[in-house]
Chains A and B, each alone.
Chain A
Amino acid sequence: MLTNDLHVRMNRDGVTSRRSFLRHVAIGAAGVTTLSWMDAMRVQADELRKRGMACILLFMPGGPSQFETFDPKPGTETGGPTKAIDTAVPGIAIAEGWTNVAKQMKDLAIIRSMTSKEGNHQRAQYTLHTGYTPSGSVKYPSLGALVASELGNPSFDLPHFVSIGGRDAAGSGFLGMSYAPFVVNDPNRMPNNVELPAGADAKRFNRRLQLMSRLEEDFARSGGQARVADHKALYESASQLVLSPRLKAFDLSDEKDALRDRYGRTPFGQGCLLARRLVEAGVTFVEVQSTGVMGAGNWDTHENNFERVKTLAGVVDPALASLVADLKERGLLETTLVIWMGEFGRTPNINARTGRDHYPRAFNVLLAGGGIRGGQVYGSTDKLGRGVAENPVTVQDLFSTFCHALKINPQKENMSGVGRPIKIVDGGSPIKPLFS
């Protein structure tokens, strides 16, 4: 059955023959059935993605404190009680509570000199997702939608952009519904409504769709032509998803318990594992949100900063480190850019409620994969963390760096709803030292 499935999938996906597939995989006649389903998916996935790159964004809404994550200032008046710990890379120290990340440091790069002007959550989240400040008249697409539209293969039957844990901050904007994030609320379950209901198998489903095309003609003829055409295209995409054998990628029960434990049995941890599976199956961009419902929580620590970050780190640290390690073990790290970021950082001054407030002036971002050389720190903040000391990085610089990693042209223009050309990134330059 696996053999037949492969054959059918290949025709639909544009790989011409079973023989060419076998040639690519270079196994003997008896070897086809020994390919695990995921292995087979992975080989095809690269063929499907135009340039072979994918991206996973771990987004920390609320604004994670750089002092308690990857730019600690121990023993200073702004550092608070937070200690620094050594990492696998001599000379790089990060905040306590991130032991797994510390072990994985050889594969990670930290940017300590992020700087922006937005201190409002909604606006800053929008900016860190789109590379633009919010405007009343242009709906800028988020990074996920941009990457999906640049790299996603149109004949791929899973969504190009998946957002785990809720909607992302900006959506697909003027790029339209075909690049809208497909939201998975609970990574431990199959996404809502993708499975055919009881009593309706694939045969009946297809039969219903055919009946639908026949019955839409009258409405199309009496003025609804364009609407019917759009509707048909939408239903074709939806049904491709429903009938896709790749849907199994959403099923975590396929994974070994030991691995699931490594990521952490929180929804966020499992979300990161799901992100790896989806990328393996050919999805171009996966975003995992660290929100309350994901068992992680919001990073907006105006109160009780130190205790709260400790809890948050307890969830995110194993997940982030396991994701990078897992991608590396499977040979996917070179072709997958991993981003860890929030919308801004937090104040050096500790307020009266043992908290830190919003601080876009200097914050940090962590990157891995996608050709980025791990084990380095780019940029720095001053001794007390009040401002950037060296190599300031703007949001546009950061986005240009993402484009460089993903082999996307940041100068390329897309047409907004009112026919205005909008560059993928408006200005900025990629941080070349980050790449090997």
Chain B
Amino acid sequence: MKGRKVLPWFGTVILFGLLLSVASLPVEGADKPAAYPKPPEGANVPIMPDAWKTAPRTKATSQEIDALLNKSLEADKVKPSPLTSDEQFIRRATLDLTGRLPLPADVTEFLADRSPDKRARLIDRLLDSEEFCSHWGRYWHDVILSRATDDRIKRLGITRAFELWMAEQLKARRSWNQIARDMITVEGALKYGPENADTSNGAAVFLLCHQGQEAAVERAAETSRVFLGIQIQCAQCHDHPNDIWKREQFHQLTAFYARLTERPIRMPGGNRIEGIQLISKPNGEHQMPNLADPKKSTTIMPKHLTGEPYSGGRSDSDRRKALADWVTAEDNYWFAAAFANRIWGELMGQAFYQPVDAMGPLQQATYPDVLLRLAASFRASGYDIREFYRLIANTEAYQRQIRLGDSADEHLQFAGVYPSRLNGDALWESLQGVLGPMQAGSRPQVTGPAARFLNRNSVERQFKDLFDFDPSTKPDEVEGSIPQALMLMNNPSINNQMRATGNTVLAKLLRAYPQDDEAIRMLYLRTLARKPTTAEFDTCKSYIAEVGNRNEAFEDLLWTLINSTEFQTKR
């Protein structure tokens, strides 16, 4: 960009004079004093905040993050919520980090543990678990699939290859910059025929979510949204209506993908498609359409958003490697901040920039200085994923009780944790944790190499179709639906597993605990990972007496706990 003056970045502001039909982004806490200094109107704003140049090159401690946050809370006269109880904490941390409920034995042990650092050690255990990898593998799968523009990729369960690939990266402890680089520069094929499935190239799903003529544009948009938190596609047809991006910049970014295309791989001798091949074209440049005259267009050469022209090799491979270099560069604030903002948002329920993928130099943020320190710490650690989760999970901020403002979308300024809904995966895992593994549906199971990612229980599929949501959605905008309620209330497979007879989890529990008092407590421990309150306990006892049939009453109780708000919510 030419002639940009350097300005103190510390304030961000939303431009209210919108030119076109895009609405302004919600103003977060604009009436709070002192937290959001605004730069002068109309002044040039640098892409990378100045404070990033002088940001610390050291990893932060959780205490440091708390101190920064508490200073702002004090200045704004916001009283933080008290800390969670151990019961609340183990459920929250286990659900957040590993997407499942803690086992009753783990809860009991944790409560009995008297050591002062037990929370830190719990966090370490959860981060080292297998489930951490599979849970976050699914998370990133949902992040990219929610915005796929090509329907074909969703068929046949091929997208699970991405989920499994991401889980493998996390297991191998690869850093975020390495993972990002792989997703941008991936080459080769993704094969998903039942006989010869090869999902080692699962990273390719990221680019293959978009195919055909508009693919380069969509790939550029997603690269920006997922890795930089910036919705640059608003600048596809005109200058971005509420940030600094010019239309040309969007197309210059797109040009990095101009020589990449794809082609289906057909089975030998037949028409059936068994995979997709990524293909690098030897030539061709991106054409930016002329909006006044559809017959005309302008050739656009690749150029980074910060203005450096691309002067490397001519091949698709060279270009995407250069793009990956720029995206993951140390001086790229948005790369570190996008991850920091998103993961903080996942754990705290609300993020610094909301929605988590609408960041940028002119977007408004809550306490941007805290985000800056988190991003700097992430960078200093070499973009170590587990270190970052550890940093947040050990803060007081993360360990505070849940809190809701006067309206669903009020920003709590991290004075408490926002009680977000569990996503489809965590809820399904919780349900299985309580009821045991769901019996397989009637769908024929695939054998062979594709089995690990094609077979899916039909009840699971129905469940996830209903309960999954785009993880980048603001938490207050995720709502329950009638079909969700119907599923948990009436689904025959789920109800079968709630029976008090036979070999179900409930049947075993009732046999193991013939005293009602104990059975009630065990049921609560299993479904909600806590003891019932006195009032709840009394209500259960009188209910059992009213019904007059132990098995029926406990089936009803189990049904009630599974259909409760608490079961579906982070606490």
B483, A182: Cβ atoms closer than 8 Å: yes
Give Cα A226 to B486, complex, Å.
21
A135, B491: Cβ atoms closer than 8 Å: no
| Contacting residues, chain A, for B480 (C-beta < 8 A) | 177, 230-231, 234
| Contacting residues, chain B, for A79 (C-beta < 8 A) | none
Give the residue of B214, B402, B539 whose beta carbon is less than 8 angstroms from that of A215.
B539
Binary interface encoding of chain B residues 175-200 relative to chain A, with 1 for a CB under 8 A from any of its CBs, else 0: 00000000000000000000000000
Binary interface encoding of chain B residues 462-504 relative to chain A, with 1 for a CB under 8 A from any of its CBs, else 0: 1000000000000001011111011101111001100100000
A211, B556: Cβ atoms closer than 8 Å: yes
Query: Known contacts A137-B25, A224-B404: does B491 contact A212 (CB below 8 Å)?
Result: no
| Contacting residues, chain B, for A205 (C-beta < 8 A) | 489
Q: How many residues of B contact A (CB 8 A)?
A: 56
A235, B22: Cβ atoms closer than 8 Å: no
Task: Say how far A169's CB is from chain B's closest CB, in angstroms.
Answer: 12
Task: Say how far A429's CB is from chain B's closest CB, in angstroms.
Answer: 20
Give Cα A212 to B543, complex, Å.
11
A238, B536: Cβ atoms closer than 8 Å: no
Smallest CB-CB separation from A137: which chain B residue? Answer: B23
User: Considering the complex, which residues of chain B in the window 525-571 have a beta carbon less than 8 Å from any beta carbon of chain A?
Assistant: 533, 535-536, 539-540, 543, 547, 552, 556-557, 559-561, 563-566, 568-569, 571
A223, B403: Cβ atoms closer than 8 Å: yes
Give the residue of B233, B487, B559, B566 whose beta carbon is less than 8 angstroms from that of A224.
B566
| Contacting residues, chain B, for A199 (C-beta < 8 A) | 495, 499
Query: Known contacts A222-B401, A223-B402, A418-B26: does B485 contact A235 (CB below 8 Å)?
Result: yes
Smallest CB-CB separation from B567: which chain A residue? Answer: A219
A197, B403: Cβ atoms closer than 8 Å: no
B560, A194: Cβ atoms closer than 8 Å: no
Query: Known contacts A183-B483, A193-B490, A193-B491: does B149 contact A122 (CB below 8 Å)?
Result: yes
Query: Known contacts A176-B479, A238-B485, A238-B489: does B564 contact A216 (CB below 8 Å)?
Result: yes
Give the residue of B404, B419, B482 whose beta carbon is less than 8 angstroms from that of A238.
B482
B23, A212: Cβ atoms closer than 8 Å: no
| Contacting residues, chain B, for A182 (C-beta < 8 A) | 482-483
B495, A135: Cβ atoms closer than 8 Å: no
- The answer, yes or no, to whether B254 is at the interface (CB within 8 Å) is no
Binary interface encoding of chain B residues 391-425 relative to chain A, with 1 for a CB under 8 A from any of its CBs, else 0: 00000000001111000100000001001000000
Give Cα A180 to B419, complex, Å.
23
- The answer, yes or no, to whether B301 is at the interface (CB within 8 Å) is no
A208, B231: Cβ atoms closer than 8 Å: no
Task: Say how far B63's CB is from chain A's closest CB, in angstroms.
Answer: 25
Task: Say how far A39's CB is from chain B's closest CB, in angstroms.
Answer: 28
- The answer, yes or no, to whether A241 is at the interface (CB within 8 Å) is yes
Task: Say how far B450's CB is from chain A's closest CB, in angstroms.
Answer: 22
Query: Known contacts A176-B479, A200-B495, A215-B560: does B401 contact A193 (CB below 8 Å)?
Result: no
Task: Say how far A193's CB is from chain B's closest CB, in angstroms.
Answer: 4
- The answer, yes or no, to whether A217 is at the interface (CB within 8 Å) is yes
| Contacting residues, chain A, for B547 (C-beta < 8 A) | 207
- The answer, yes or no, to whether A92 is at the interface (CB within 8 Å) is no
Give Cα A200 to B547, complex, Å.
14
- The answer, yes or no, to whether B24 is at the interface (CB within 8 Å) is yes
- The answer, yes or no, to whether A27 is at the interface (CB within 8 Å) is no
- The answer, yes or no, to whether A90 is at the interface (CB within 8 Å) is no
Query: Known contacts A192-B487, A197-B490, A224-B569: does B234 contact A177 (CB below 8 Å)?
Result: no
Give Cα A207 to B419, complex, Å.
28
Task: Say how far A344's CB is from chain B's closest CB, in angstroms.
Answer: 16
Give the residue of A208, A219, A420 whose beta carbon is less than 8 angstroms from that of B559.
A208
Task: Say how far B50's CB is from chain A's closest CB, in angstroms.
Answer: 28
Binary interface encoding of chain B residues 334-371 relative to chain A, with 1 for a CB under 8 A from any of its CBs, else 0: 00000000000000000000000000000000000000
Give Cα A25 to B537, complex, Å.
52
Smallest CB-CB separation from B406: which chain A residue? Answer: A226
Smallest CB-CB separation from B493: which chain A residue? Answer: A197
- The answer, yes or no, to whether B21 is at the interface (CB within 8 Å) is yes
Q: Which of A192, A211, A418 counts the most B-chain CB atoms under 10 A from its CB?
A: A211
- The answer, yes or no, to whether A26 is at the interface (CB within 8 Å) is no
| Contacting residues, chain A, for B477 (C-beta < 8 A) | 417
B565, A211: Cβ atoms closer than 8 Å: no
Give Cα A200 to B22, complex, Å.
49
Give Cα A223 to B88, complex, Å.
12
| Contacting residues, chain B, for A237 (C-beta < 8 A) | 482, 485
Give Cα A237 to B481, complex, Å.
10
Give the residue of A138, A193, A217 whose beta carbon is less than 8 angstroms from that of B489.
A193
Smallest CB-CB separation from B150: which chain A residue? Answer: A122
Task: Say how far B543's CB is from chain A's closest CB, in angstroms.
Answer: 6
The contact size tier of chain A is 35 or more
User: Considering the complex, which residues of chain A in the window 389-436 have a beta carbon less than 8 Å from any beta carbon of chain B?
Assistant: 416-418, 420
B485, A198: Cβ atoms closer than 8 Å: no
Smallest CB-CB separation from B530: which chain A residue? Answer: A218
Task: Say how far A431's CB is from chain B's closest CB, in angstroms.
Answer: 24
| Contacting residues, chain B, for A138 (C-beta < 8 A) | 22-23
Give Cα A87 to B556, complex, Å.
61
Give Cα A242 to B563, complex, Å.
15
| Contacting residues, chain A, for B566 (C-beta < 8 A) | 216, 219, 224
Give Cα A197 to B214, complex, Å.
47
A135, B482: Cβ atoms closer than 8 Å: no
Give Cα A352 to B563, complex, Å.
56
Give the residue of A176, A194, A231 whose beta carbon is less than 8 angstroms from that of B565.
A231
| Contacting residues, chain A, for B416 (C-beta < 8 A) | 223
Give the residue of B401, B462, B496, B564 whose beta carbon is less than 8 angstroms from that of A219.
B564
Give the residue of B26, B496, B563 whose beta carbon is less than 8 angstroms from that of A212.
B563
Give Cα A50 to B30, complex, Å.
41
Give Cα A385 to B564, complex, Å.
58
- The answer, yes or no, to whether A159 is at the interface (CB within 8 Å) is yes
- The answer, yes or no, to whether A256 is at the interface (CB within 8 Å) is no
| Contacting residues, chain B, for A207 (C-beta < 8 A) | 547, 556
A198, B492: Cβ atoms closer than 8 Å: yes
Give Cα A238 to B234, complex, Å.
38
B536, A218: Cβ atoms closer than 8 Å: yes
Task: Say how far A376's CB is from chain B's closest CB, in angstroms.
Answer: 34
Task: Say how far B66's CB is from chain A's closest CB, in angstroms.
Answer: 21
Give Cα A132 to B540, complex, Å.
52
| Contacting residues, chain A, for B26 (C-beta < 8 A) | 417-418
B234, A228: Cβ atoms closer than 8 Å: no
Smallest CB-CB separation from B88: which chain A residue? Answer: A222
| Contacting residues, chain B, for A23 (C-beta < 8 A) | none
Give Cα A198 to B490, complex, Å.
9
Give Cα A224 to B416, complex, Å.
12
Smallest CB-CB separation from A195: which chain B residue? Answer: B490
B402, A224: Cβ atoms closer than 8 Å: yes
A136, B560: Cβ atoms closer than 8 Å: no
Give Cα A295 to B214, complex, Å.
29
| Contacting residues, chain B, for A253 (C-beta < 8 A) | none
Q: Which of B540, B543, B560 counts the most A-chain CB atoms under 10 A from its CB?
A: B560
Give Cα A238 to B552, complex, Å.
23
Task: Say how far B236's CB is from chain A's closest CB, in angstroms.
Answer: 10
Give Cα A207 to B24, complex, Å.
47
A193, B533: Cβ atoms closer than 8 Å: no
Give Cα A422 to B60, complex, Å.
45
22 contacts between A and B (CB under 8 A): A132-B21, A136-B233, A177-B480, A192-B462, A194-B490, A196-B490, A198-B492, A199-B499, A204-B552, A204-B556, A211-B557, A211-B560, A212-B560, A212-B563, A215-B540, A216-B566, A219-B571, A223-B401, A224-B402, A224-B571, A227-B565, A241-B486
Query: A-B pairs with the 9 shortest C-beta distances?
Result: A238-B485, A197-B495, A193-B486, A231-B565, A223-B402, A177-B479, A219-B566, A193-B490, A137-B23
Residues of B within 8 A of A (CB): 21-26, 81, 149, 214, 231, 233-234, 401-404, 408, 416, 419, 462, 477, 479-483, 485-487, 489-492, 495-496, 499, 533, 535-536, 539-540, 543, 547, 552, 556-557, 559-561, 563-566, 568-569, 571
Given contacts A215-B540, A238-B482, 14 further A-B contacts (CB under 8 A): A135-B21, A136-B22, A177-B480, A196-B490, A200-B495, A207-B547, A212-B560, A212-B563, A223-B403, A226-B404, A226-B408, A227-B419, A237-B482, A416-B23
